Structure formats: structure tokens, C-alpha cells
Amino acid sequence: MNPFRYSKPDTLQAAVELSSANSRFIAGGTNLLDLMKENLTRPEHLIDITGLPLADLSETPSGGVMIGALVSNADLAWHPWIERRYPLLSQAILAGASPQLRNMASTGGNLLQRTRCYYFYDASVPCNKRSPGSGCPARSGLNRIHAILGASEQCVATHPSDMCVALAALDAVVHVLGRGGPRTIEFADFHRLPGDAPDRDNQLADDELITYIELPPAGFAEHSHYLKIRDRASYAFALVSVAAALELDGPVIRQARLVLGGVAHKPWRDRAVESWLVGQAVSRETFTAAADALLQDAEPLAHNGFKVKLARRAIVRALSEAALVGGTAR
């Protein structure tokens, strides 16, 4: 790890004013320190934000929930409001990482974790995300874990988060503060597709700090399911994951949310498929048609063609679980 300056500001404004192109905010540190140990990130200045008043959950006037950026992943997953009203989010968080990491990792930091593409993590090989313009060995190399949707010539990395897949399905809103003041970003717009600038994972500016994640009132607690498929039973990143949420009127779908993880540079949400599901009756045929539509533009690489079939089956199963079994509302 490189030497760096360390500051611990007391106020949001001070934190934002301390930030620069060569500084990083640190909270849980679970991904940032790992990247620093690999010399993939070498910030000159770490700004410790754990003293800021962002560690609580509160109810919003509209009946939603405002989650402070410093709430740990474990506290969020096991918070009674989240377990009861947003079980999809609890399930997704508990499907990721290990108990130790969930105790450390923050809500805001989860959004900012970097891809686990093994070429990105290997400083001895080129990578357009790590070193723009240097090339992408994953595209022609071993790409079993890589993207099947929304990739570019320059980058085929996937976003590693489970939590973000659920937040995309729940229509969360990201609140940020920069030197120019606060702004909000719709969750679906927060992360980027790689395009010709894969070094940029998201829309945040250097001086911007995530302050809160806002959940709207609709939590789909009756009919939601998070399904994660990985190489081992626990503590592994998703090959494919699905966040499925439905609002039903008898057998008829009134509202649908369908987001995939592990398949693209960001949580993959297809609003056209969600709209098509509205008015359809719950059935295996309906869900299979939805899966086929979502995956029609999939472009698998040499080693990840299996992900298309896996995603198709995972979508059908997740929607079926959501419709028939419901979430884990207690």
C-alpha cells in the first residue's frame, strides 16, 4: 500500500471540500484497501467519512426509507424495516460477501466497488478500465465470468454487487453531495455501460459523496425473490443473479420489476420487458417469453455462452418464486 495523507472530517461540507482528483473517501474500506494493496489504486489522500452523521435509517414523508450511506450492509439487511418491507433487498445483501465483510462494508461503498474481472486485478496485463487505451485481454482471453449484455469493444467486465441489483429493481434514488451542492440520481442511471470510457464505472464526480440511498414506498414484499447462481454454495460473486418483483391482481401481473446481475457492466434492467409483463397472466409461458425477450440481444463471448441459458432459466425461476411463493415477509 502506498503512503497517503489521512483526514477525518466532522461535517459533510468539510469532507466534500477536502476531496480532490487524487483523494478517495473511505468508510468500510473492504474494496478500496484491497485495490490499494494490489497497487491498482494509489490515492494520495484518504478522507475517512465514518465520523459523518450518515449511519441511520429514517422514514421519508412519502412512506419510503432513507438509508444513510454509512449503514453497514449487515445492519441494512437485518433492519426490521428492510426485512419486512423490502425483503428483496435483504435477500440480495445476504447473498453477497461474508459476514465479516457485510459488517464492514457501507451502503454507499457497495455502489462503488469495482469489477472483479481478473484482468482488471492483474496489474501486469493491459486493461482499458485500469489504464485507458491499453487494451482488453478479457475479450480474447478467459471470459467465462464476463458480460453478455451491454459490453463494448473496450470492456466486457461485469458489476459485482448483489445489493445494487435489488436497489435497481426497487427504483432507489442515490443522493449525493458535491461542492456545487446536492443532487439526486435515479439508480438505473447511476452506473454506466462501458462504451469507450470503461474507466468510469458511474456518474459520480470526483468531489461528490454519496449521502443517502432512498427507497420509494413500494417494496414488493408480497411477491419478490432474489436468485443468485454462483460457482460454489456461498461467498462467491454471481455468474448470474436475478431480482424479480411482482404486484399481482389474482393471476394477472399489475407491475413487474426484473433486473439481472453478473451479466453486464451495471445491474441490467429491461423496462420494455417489465412493461410487456403488465397485464399478462402468471404462467411458465409468460415468464419464458419475458426471459427470451430480455436475452434476445445477448452477445456471449468465447467462454460464457452458458450464461445465456443460465440467465434464461434463472429469470423463469426467480419470477416463478416471486409469483408463487412470495418474498420472505415476516
Contact footprint for other proteins (CB under 8 A) = 1-6, 26, 29-30, 33-34, 37, 46, 48, 50, 74, 78, 97-101, 103-104, 233-235
Q: How many other C-beta atoms can be found within 10 angstroms of the C-beta atom of residue 289?
A: 16
Task: For residue 300, give the C-alpha cell.
Answer: 456471449
| d(C-alpha 5, C-alpha 299), whole Å | 44
Query: In the complex, what is the shortest distance from the CB of residue 55 to other proteins, in angstroms, rounded to a whole number?
Result: 13
Which of residues 14 and 101 has its CB atom nearest to other proteins in the complex?
101
Nearest approach in angstroms of CB 246 to other proteins is: 27
> Is the Cβ of residue 235 or residue 306 nearer to other proteins in the bound state?
235
Q: Which is nearer to other proteins, 30 or 128 (CB)?
A: 30
Backbone phi, psi, residue 46, to 5°: -105, 130
| Contact predicate 101/74, CB 8 Å | no
> Smaller CB distance to other proteins: residue 29 or 216?
29
Shortest distance in whole angstroms from residue 109 CB to other proteins: 12
Q: How far is the CB of 101 from other proteins (least distance, A)?
A: 6
3-state DSSP percent of the chain in helix, strand and coil, to 5: 30, 20, 50
By beta-carbon proximity to other proteins, the closer residue of 30 and 304 is 30
In the bound complex, what is the minimum distance in angstroms from residue 121's beta carbon to other proteins?
10
Dist. CA 46–CA 204, nearest whole Å: 17
Residue type, 45: H
- Contact between 257 and 243 under an 8 Å Cβ cutoff? The reply is yes
Question: Do residues 119 and 137 touch, judged by C-beta distance below 8 A?
Answer: yes
Which CB atom, from 46 or from 88, has the smaller least distance to other proteins?
A: 46
Q: How far apart are CA 215 and CA 76, in angstroms?
A: 12
